[in-house]
Structure 1
């Protein structure tokens, strides 16, 4: 099983509100360069701009380098500075960017892309199929890349406008990754590329002050429609500082949380974006006698849980939690119940939905021999129905979800002890104890990895030949549309009564899809948003070139 290490890439220290000088952060935007919507100087109008705040974790640790993770990884998004072969529209359908046509061989082992012949990098050099091959091979062979192109064996440029991707195995999920992989120039790629990127996308990197801000300016040589917003200033700051940036009028769009949403300042509206940003708890499905799990080299992780290894407990937790109550209590209503890592997506299964029924949950526990003790906590064969629930200590929303979950479990006779910790400490417990995770993307890749027996996110250590076969067959389909029924079958197959649905293995208890909230200045027209993946970050500005001011 490969390690899950994506969060380790983004551990930059945040800018706390008390230590942040808003004027200093905006040093590059002088008094002679007003914010968007402000009064223009007498010598003529300034380019339109927006100022957007993002979490400190949204700052790319390795710079704006697609070979190191820019655009991919935990917070997938369009790379803006670089072009991509394809992209997704508002309905998440694939559309061409650099590509003019593409297709796959009947055996799924060769993808062929024809690209435009009129694209130039910002240094004036043409973008050719060799640059595409260089980028893909760099990711395939690179140790530090967060983009998953492991299904590709090699990329070969056949001529200036034709590139073949020769596969190691059939996998149509390739397209979802290619939609966020920016193409870099072979002739201008080097160790400092992340800080001085040369691209062919809608924007160029004008300035980057680590730990503070990144400034993008419209690319005058862009081959597509000219961006309506010519300058994008991104401020990296913690939640309280983000609110302060809006209150002071510094930010045009500032991310916020349900707890701070009532503090929306005058002149701003609350922008609510729907998401597939799911909060869920992994439930180890094997007992403590499973033995350690060797994840990387000599690193062995303790595995197995004496309580959650009982499928009756896992099923009871799924139907015994009132998700609507939790969303009202913890998220002030800004969210929807979650039942999977992809609710509402074409590959989601209705079988993952579960109605709240505390009596049914108690009956499941009674039937499995978990009897209530004098303290109200159930036990069986001397084992208390109790476990620790780990969550990242710096995440106030997850902390609140963990404690609400624990309160609801107590009413079922299950004792849950929330434990806040660093991710380094949580990873040590990820196969032994339940963990409150955040997941969600606009692709079925996470569904695969959290469910497949050898997936990097199979914290439950659940293995089913039937589920694995359905998942493998889904990726091998000639089109992504043909894969949807097989992904649904992996979640629940009534013919064989197998799958990870609540009536089956119940390897997760999903809680909520959290809305992403932003304070948006009045007069700013934010273009229609795709469902946001996990994380307050760059996905908001996927289409910033189509925003406008009234």
Structure 2
């Protein structure tokens, strides 16, 4: 089968895009598009309609390095999404309410230390073996015991299958956000899991892996024995490419859905609609809260930490009040975004107290009162420390670059100097605890607030510690019902006295939830989307089985 490489797509960019053909892609596989899928003939010579298919471009980072293995990162890694190939215990609806998949019921004990799930008995893996609670327990315990796993189940002690239909999850501490994690953890078969599973996954989900050409494309086909409603789209092709190549692919009509960004949104190709998906994909900058010279230990070992400018709370508060978020969205995102003041802004657990109206004069006064006086060149100084620092972003991300440039320009008005540094992730990570960094975060779960602001959180780049915030977060996670915890999440952000809000400790400055933009062929009906988490990738196709061609 012919494949399409990113190099092929790159050749399309520019004036030659209209003349180059990518007709070799997926030869022998019927496609969607402006024309009806090609018909073939069966063994008797009778006409047979080809299966429906969609071709979707995704970022290079969307390709799972370890394959389709939930015990590593598939579905439940950095960019969370439904695993498609595997089933999950539960899932979330478009309004983010929980609904059952494999589980027929579930409940937490009053102390939050156990979760009991009942499993349906009509599910089989694609090799014909029944799925039982033992496979569920094997999956969860496998994640716990996998050093390679990107899925955080550190709050789980173990999972025990009491019988074929009952699994009990025992906790190290109450942690109701486990439900959000279970909604993206695909269940693997105990009998068929081993080395090489990621490249040859056996699951029970809506789709099966048909082909994986590493560095190029993934092809999924509908699972004929799926226990739920049969997918309307029978084949899903994901091709991995850079931003400009994705645009070129749409301009040449070779993909049905092409991811894009605000930078390229005005270049909408003929025959395509601009699909605008709301997101909780937040963009913000971490502001280290401790002095330079400190050390911080994370999963990668000990690292340098601290910054002598942002360690001053007055500087962090001034940045939050001094930035014009609306201007940021207009100038950088061409209006394709919504103002955000926190990670997960607009979710039931986000606090209205995080809202921060632009007030440049208030920002300047905060700096003046804290002793940061303008120098001869306008850049402030205090006790021999110049208010000048580096601001890092991942090179190649045009939106983050634009945010860094716009932010740096705006901060000059306050007398704060930010020298922007576009570098690779490998070169960026050594600075994650010492310098401001433009980050992208966001999932359909409050756990992001925990990760970023809990003193031992896995994403606590600001090195933030607040005993009151920790206590609220622990209490929120101990609620047996998730919906009962939302007020506590809000108090962790601001309780009237302390918290991460701009008027409080302000360990981050947030700007926007970026709209997730795609060019989609006009005759393709994309099903209603739930808010997209961070990442232009598999979250779009969470419900691809419900898409259809007009």
Superposition TM-score, scaled by structure 2 size: 0.94
Aligned position for 1:162: 166
CA distance in 2, matches of 1:199, 1:78: 13
Aligned position for 2:27: 29
Match of 1:487 among 482, 486, 489: 489
Aligned position for 1:522: 522
Match of 1:72 among 54, 66, 76: 76
Match of 2:235 among 228, 231, 234: 231
Aligned position for 2:373: 371
| 3-state SS, counterpart of residue 172 of structure 1 | coil
| CA-CA distance at 1:86 after TM superposition | 0.2
| CA-CA distance at 1:260 after TM superposition | 1.2
| 3-state SS, counterpart of residue 348 of structure 1 | coil
CA distance in 2, matches of 1:300, 1:161: 44
CA distance in 2, matches of 1:464, 1:207: 49
Is 302-311 or 502-511 further displaced after alignment?
Answer: 302-311
Counterpart check, 1:502 vs 2:494: no
Aligned position for 1:301: 303
CA distance in 2, matches of 1:276, 1:540: 13
| 3-state SS, counterpart of residue 433 of structure 1 | coil
Q: Residues 452-495 of structure 1, C-alpha deviation per residue, up to 9 Å, x if partnerless?
A: 1111111111211111100111111111111111111100011x
CA distance in 1, matches of 2:376, 2:361: 20
**Aligned pairs (5 A) from 1:277-288:** 277-288=281-292
| CA-CA distance at 1:15 after TM superposition | 5.1
| 3-state SS, counterpart of residue 199 of structure 2 | coil
Aligned position for 2:44: none
Superposition TM-score, scaled by structure 1 size: 0.94
Aligned position for 1:292: 295
CA distance in 1, matches of 2:194, 2:415: 59
| 3-state SS, counterpart of residue 231 of structure 2 | coil
Counterpart check, 1:83 vs 2:87: yes
Aligned position for 2:545: 545
CA distance in 1, matches of 2:465, 2:451: 12
Does the CA contact (< 8 Å) of 1:330 and 1:397 recur in 2? yes
Query: How many residues get paired?
Result: 533
**Aligned pairs (5 A) from 1:333-412:** 333-412=335-414
| CA-CA distance at 1:19 after TM superposition | 5.6
Aligned position for 1:463: 465
CA distance in 2, matches of 1:543, 1:310: 46
CA distance in 2, matches of 1:250, 1:210: 19
| CA-CA distance at 1:34 after TM superposition | 3.9
| CA-CA distance at 1:302 after TM superposition | 1.6
Q: Residues 285-306 of structure 1, C-alpha deviation per residue, up to 9 Å, x if partnerless?
A: 11125x2223357x43221111
CA distance in 1, matches of 2:96, 2:344: 13
**Aligned pairs (5 A) from 1:92-103:** 92-103=96-107
Counterpart check, 1:221 vs 2:225: yes
| 3-state SS, counterpart of residue 368 of structure 2 | helix
Q: From the superposition, tell whether residues 276 and 14 of structure 1 become closer, same or farther in structure 2 (CA, over 3 Å).
A: farther
Does the CA contact (< 8 Å) of 2:6 and 2:245 recur in 1? no
Q: From the superposition, tell whether residues 356 and 546 of structure 1 become closer, same or farther in structure 2 (CA, over 3 Å).
A: same
| CA-CA distance at 1:190 after TM superposition | 1.4
Q: Residues 140-198 of structure 1, C-alpha deviation per residue, up to 9 Å, x if partnerless?
A: 11111111111111111111111111111111011000000000111111111111111
Does the CA contact (< 8 Å) of 1:527 and 1:546 recur in 2? yes
CA distance in 2, matches of 1:25, 1:391: 37
CA distance in 2, matches of 1:72, 1:26: 33
Does the CA contact (< 8 Å) of 1:15 and 1:56 recur in 2? no
Aligned position for 2:17: none
Does the CA contact (< 8 Å) of 1:16 and 1:240 recur in 2? no
| CA-CA distance at 1:278 after TM superposition | 0.8
CA distance in 1, matches of 2:111, 2:342: 31
Does the CA contact (< 8 Å) of 1:284 and 1:434 recur in 2? yes
| 3-state SS, counterpart of residue 49 of structure 2 | coil
Match of 1:107 among 105, 111, 115: 111
| CA-CA distance at 1:27 after TM superposition | 4.1
Q: Residues 220-250 of structure 1, C-alpha deviation per residue, up to 9 Å, x if partnerless?
A: 1111111111111111111111111111111
Match of 1:38 among 30, 35, 38: 35
4+ residue runs over 6 A deviation: 20-25
| CA-CA distance at 1:397 after TM superposition | 1.3
| CA-CA distance at 1:36 after TM superposition | 4.7
Is 436-445 or 300-309 further displaced after alignment?
Answer: 300-309
RMSD: 1.7
CA distance in 2, matches of 1:277, 1:16: 30
CA distance in 1, matches of 2:499, 2:233: 47
| 3-state SS, counterpart of residue 134 of structure 1 | helix
Q: From the superposition, tell whether residues 16 and 376 of structure 1 become closer, same or farther in structure 2 (CA, over 3 Å).
A: farther
Does the CA contact (< 8 Å) of 2:160 and 2:168 recur in 1? yes
Aligned position for 2:276: 272
Does the CA contact (< 8 Å) of 1:278 and 1:512 recur in 2? yes
Does the CA contact (< 8 Å) of 2:527 and 2:546 recur in 1? yes
CA distance in 1, matches of 2:147, 2:75: 17
Counterpart check, 1:176 vs 2:180: yes
Does the CA contact (< 8 Å) of 2:298 and 2:458 recur in 1? no
Is 509-518 or 421-430 further displaced after alignment?
Answer: 421-430
CA distance in 1, matches of 2:383, 2:286: 24
Unpaired stretches in structure 2, ≥5 consecutive residues: 14-19, 41-46
| CA-CA distance at 1:28 after TM superposition | 3.1
